[in-house]
Structure formats: C-alpha cells, structure tokens
Structure 1
Amino acid sequence: MKKLLVVVAVALMTSSAFAAKYGSAGCGLGSMIFEGDQTWWKQVLAATTNGTGVQTIGITLGTSNCDSPAPLKVGQAEAYVEANKVALANDIARGNGETIVGLSKVYGCTNAAQFGQALKSNYSTIFTSANSTSSEITHNINGVAATTCNTQI
C-alpha cells in the first residue's frame, strides 16, 4: 500500500496542475498531491499528509504552495539590520546602495529607489544616536516602510 501511495504521489507531483490553489487542508505536500480536488475526503487525506511535518517546513521555507502573505518574517528585518548596520547607515545617508536594495526585499518594497530616498529623508529619525541598537534602528525603519512600502509591521 505504501508503494502505491508513493507512486501516486510522485505521479501527481509531476503533473502540470501546480498553478491551482490549495483547498481547505491548507498548504503543504498534501496540497500538491491533491491539488485542484476539493472533495472532502481528499482534503482529509491532504491534511493528514500535511500533518507529517512537511507543512511546517513548507511554511517556514515558503515552499510546497506555502507562500507567506506578508513578505516580512518575524525578526528578519532586525537580523538584516544587525548584519549590515555600518553599510546600511552609509547607504541610507546616500539614499541608495546594495543594503537598501536588500532591505527593500526584506520589507517587500517594490520600488527600492523610492524606499532609499524615504530612508535618506528620515536618516536622523532612523539613527537617533551613534549608539543606536539594531532593534531601535529597525523600529524606526518600520515606520518609514509602513508609509513607503505599505508594509504592516
């Protein structure tokens, strides 16, 4: 029975129906195996498949039909600021640069140039002192991102 299920799963995963939305079972491997089929019993099987732990992995990594509705993941912005603090301060002062492009992706901004200019205009409110922590800087950037990128933090 397990061999049959594996063969069916592989056959369904290689089908060209990957563009359909998942059903009430949610995202995960089950949504890929039973994609496009909304019958109740197949959704139960999809939910059971998702319950094996692969749904958690899919949600965490954004795979298996599990796309995060918000581009910003918890702690991602602060980690980015911490890792790039000095370069980010320099790029924000100029209003452009690699770290602003990266930061715009973290926040889901579609226009990195506009975001960079908004950050530049708010430099003194983002970096309130020479000893600003990454948490403080991120908090201040969140306000700029909320108005410029329409990102809710």
Structure 2
Amino acid sequence: MILLLVAKGRDMYRQQLLGLISTALTLAATTSGCGLAGPHSQCVGDVPDGLKSRDLVGTYRSSSSETVTLNKDGTFTSDGWPAGVGIGSGTWRLNPPESPAWPLDFSFQEGASGTGLSIQGSRKNPELYEFVGDPDQCDVVTFRRID
C-alpha cells in the first residue's frame, strides 16, 4: 500500500514537471519573437492600421533593384522578384488583417507559384518586405515605393 502511494506520487510529480517544462518552453517561444508571439516582430513593423488596397498602388524597388508595380486594377508586374521568376505579372490582393495568409498575396499568370509579401510602414508610405534567410537573424529584403 505504501509503495503504491509512493508510485502514484512519483507519477503525479512527473506530470507536474512536464507541465512546468511545457509552460516554460511556450513562454520562451513567445517572448523571443518566435512561434506564438507573431512573425519576428523585433525585425519589422506591423501592417499599418486601416490600410486599403489604394494605399499600396505604385512601384516598389528593393535595395538589389528588384521591382514590383501594383496597379489600381489589381494587376501587377515584377522584374527580378521573386527570385528565379525574372519578369512576371498577374493579380494582387490585400488580405484582411485577421487572415492567416500573406498580407499581400500574388497570383502569377505565367504559372509561377503564388507568393506574397508582408507590409510595414504607414498608409502614406508603405514598405513591402520578405524574409530571405533565417527570420531570427532578421534577413529581410525591403521594397520601398519609388512613385
């Protein structure tokens, strides 16, 4: 009987210890910018509040001269982005803030797979960006509007 109580106590201790470890790992992930805290918020800004599709219309250039032009009719052209596509075109869409998809979604006409960009900055001066390496190292390419 005493051995049974000791064994039950040991199992309960293990369960409590596993629960504590799980909680600690979750807290570490959320406070380090990984996992549950959001997509690497220490590297980039948030999507501007109240952003509308019309706020994004224009041509954007990256530091490595890739360009993306967002037209007001929902079409786009790109030169050098995404890597390996060369010159591309298709349609773009601003997703609602609660969407789990890219904030800015692209569908290519030429059969390239769809991709997306994230958005930061302000409604008046938005910037488009994508992670190109390890997000924890803040490897980001930013596209700034040039017109």
TM bracket (short chain) = under 0.3
Which structure shows the bigger proportion of residues in strand conformation? Answer: 2
Which structure shows the bigger proportion of residues in helix conformation? Answer: 1
Higher relative contact order (CA 8 A, sep 6+): 2
